[in-house]
Amino acid sequence: MKKDIKSLSLAELEADMIEMGEKAFRAKQIYQWMHQKLATSFDEMTNLSKEIRNRCKERYDLTVLEMVERKVSAIDGTQKYLFRLEDGNVIESVLMKYQHGNSVCISSQAGCRMGCRFCASTLDGLERCLTPSEMLEQIYRISQISKERVSHVVIMGTGEPLDNYDSVLRFLLLISDPYGLHISQRNITLSTCGLVPKIRKLAEEQLQITLALSLHAPNDEIRRKLMPIANRYSIEETLAVCREYFEKTKRRISFEYSLIQGLNDQEEHAHCLAKKIVHMNCHVNLIPVNPIQEREYRQTERAEIDRFKKVLEKNGINVTIRREMGRDIQGACGQLRKGYQSRQKGRKESSEI
């Protein structure tokens, strides 16, 4: 099998060039073509001799994602992309424009096996993990196609990033590399449903990324109804490891809390949540749940969201309500991919009749 060249670190590529009998500086040239100039073929790398380019083609795979669909929101300019991977799997990514810069939300897996009840990404389970190059490519293609500068990255698309730990870590180092796109780690957020041992491991990596923890409930009973992972780890254990993450990295934790009508959105829930996190260095992001076809969950009324927010604020907790982006273009996780898959399925079935 050929090596996936876009997933190699510069040091690894240098070692490889020396092994091939080439000069080490060739590695930097190739690396910059891939990660700064966002080249899509070895033939674009014009400061390399044809011979080296041919040797590279023989030895390596150069991963490039193919865009199959793009939707641009008429409301806020959010762009949603559907990409096809080498093996035919499709994944989605989103470009969001904010005052502070442009942010790309990437997928870390094709599908997901975490089973959160409100999430469309997990309905068909996990297909496979993405490689570091496939994660990078989502950002590279979007920045080329949209011609926008990408300053922020959130790993909040399809998949559980800590269920693909090694590849995600490698991705984080590559995307923040000064010889690559050099996106500041402080502008990168990794969102997890709470794989406690992996969070503990991540805290040791000496990264400056923000950890977002999908909490979604004020107690274990409600959390277990929404997220299977809550049967594995209690809220207490989960918050303890978040404290550890803060101690080690000094990065403020961000809690995600999707409000679902009648389920986790009552004032008593806000009080209970406040009690648990009041002494933590954290921020709470309230998300009106994005209803998916397959489930009956409804959004909390705006006035009630505000009431929930006030309770937290009265306890001195930082809270924001996430602005809904791309409402008109299937904004919620996994919806575009799911729609595409069922259209493909429909097409296949109708052609079989």
294 assigned to active site: no
Is 191 a residue that touches ligand SAH (CB under 6 A)? yes
The 3-state DSSP class for residue 282 equals strand
- Residues, the chain: 353
Closer Cβ to ligand SAH, 43 or 197, answer by number: 197
Cα separation values, 120 from 138, 168, 289, 295, 337, Å: 20, 22, 12, 9, 9
Reading the block at residue 180, the tokens are: 């690559």
DSSP secondary structure of 160-174:
-GGGGHHHHHHHHHH
Closer Cβ to ligand SAH, 55 or 224, answer by number: 224
**Chain-centroid distance, C-alpha 119:** 14
Is 192 a residue that touches ligand SAH (CB under 6 A)? yes
For residue 179, give every residue at least 6 positions away whose Cβ sits within 8 Å of its Cβ, in sequence order, or none.
10, 28, 31, 32, 35, 36
The 3-state DSSP class for residue 193 equals coil
Question: 127, 134, 160, 265: which one contacts ligand SAH (CB under 6 A)?
Answer: 160
The span from the CA of 225 to the CA of 150, in Å, is 37
Is 290 a residue that touches ligand SAH (CB under 6 A)? yes
Closer Cβ to ligand SAH, 25 or 98, answer by number: 98
Stretch that binds ligand SAH, among 95-103, 178-186, 191-199, 264-272 (CB under 6 A): 191-199
Cα separation values, 12 from 16, 17, 18, 157, Å: 6, 9, 10, 29
Least gap, CB of 256 to ligand SAH (angstroms): 4
Least gap, CB of 85 to ligand SAH (angstroms): 18
112 assigned to active site: no
Is 188 a residue that touches ligand SAH (CB under 6 A)? no
Is 127 a residue that touches ligand SAH (CB under 6 A)? no
Is 292 a residue that touches ligand SAH (CB under 6 A)? yes
Is 168 a residue that touches ligand SAH (CB under 6 A)? no
Is 287 a residue that touches ligand SAH (CB under 6 A)? yes
Reading the block at residue 223, the tokens are: 């959390």
Task: Kindly identify the residues of this chain, within the stretch 64-83, that bind ligand SAH according to CB under 6 A.
Answer: none
Stretch that binds ligand SAH, among 114-122, 177-185, 195-203, 306-314 (CB under 6 A): 114-122
Closer Cβ to ligand SAH, 189 or 249, answer by number: 189
The footprint of ligand SAH on this chain (CB under 6 A) covers a number of residues equal to 18
Q: Which of 123, 95, 127 is nearest to 108 (CA)?
A: 127
Phi-psi category of 77—alpha, beta or left, where left has phi over 0 and alpha has psi -120 to 50?
left
Closer Cβ to ligand SAH, 45 or 241, answer by number: 241
Task: Kindly identify the residues of this chain, within the stretch 244-283, that bind ligand SAH according to CB under 6 A.
Answer: 256, 258
Question: 181, 211, 332, 336: which one contacts ligand SAH (CB under 6 A)?
Answer: 332
The H-or-E segment that residue 126 falls in is strand 126-129
The H-or-E segment that residue 232 falls in is none
> Which residues is 321 bridged to in the sheet?
286
Least gap, CB of 213 to ligand SAH (angstroms): 7
Question: 10, 156, 241, 311: which one contacts ligand SAH (CB under 6 A)?
Answer: 156
The 3-state DSSP class for residue 305 equals helix
Question: 96, 106, 193, 312: which one contacts ligand SAH (CB under 6 A)?
Answer: 193
209: amino acid identity, one letter: I
Active-site annotation, residues? 92, 333
Binding interface with ligand SAH (CB under 6 A) = 114, 116, 118-119, 156, 160, 191-193, 214, 256, 258, 287, 289-290, 292, 332-333
